[in-house]
Amino acid sequence: MAGRHTLTIVKPDAFGAGKAGLIIALLEKHGFVVKAARVMHLSTEQAGGFYAVHAARPFYGELVEFMSSGPCMPLLLERDDAVATLRTVIGATDPAEAAEGTVRKLYAESKGRNAIHASDSDENAAIEAAFFFAGADTI
Ligand code: UDP
Ligand code: MG
């Protein structure tokens, strides 16, 4: 059965543009409950580690540079069918292909600077939640 938790990050482009509140409000409108949150400026080592799965991809260097370019906001979210629902709510990776009303359609600048991250499986949600919130209080 699909799990009730997923990990999202309001990326540095959206956080720096003051869109975190609007994005969280949209997620809450879709039934997500914030269980844990923090604001942090990732080092290149942290950004590279988080996205290690993409290390061989041509965009990896640019992605690590972008994700460590300013503060971001990781959040642990809860709702039924969390991973699949959040992927629908954020929209396609490239905002030009994202559906109307999705976070990326509304707030992303480009395929690289695309406002938000979301876990792509229950397994990765657990790994990514531990990356940011291991040992943290969750309610
Ligand atoms: N990305 C990029 N160029 C690409 C594909 C991805 O810059 O051609 C960046 C983008 O920020 C994306 C992240 O790398 O969100 C991770 O890529 P993935 O394919 O996992 O997309 P996502 O799961 O975020 O939709
Ligand atoms: Mg992905």
User: At which residue do the structure tokens 């923090």 appear?
Assistant: 38
pLDDT of residue 138: 75
pLDDT of residue 1: 59
- CA distances to 21, 22, 96, 121, 125 from 31, rounded to whole Å, are 15, 15, 25, 19, 18
Domains and CATH numbers, the chain: 5-134 (3.30.70.141)
Instruction: Indicate if 41 belongs to the active site.
Output: no
Ligand 1 atom 7: residue of nearest CA: 112
- Look up residue 8 and give its amino acid: T
With the most atoms of ligand 1 within 8 angstroms of its CB, the residue from 42, 51, 63 to mutate is 63
Ligand 1 atom 6: residue of nearest CA: 112
pTM of the model: 0.97
| pLDDT per residue as tens digits for the range 86-113 | 999 999 999 999 999 999 999 999 999 9
pLDDT of residue 136: 79
Token duo for residue 89: 């709510």
Token duo for residue 128: 């990514």
Q: Which residues of the chain have pLDDT under 70?
A: 1, 139
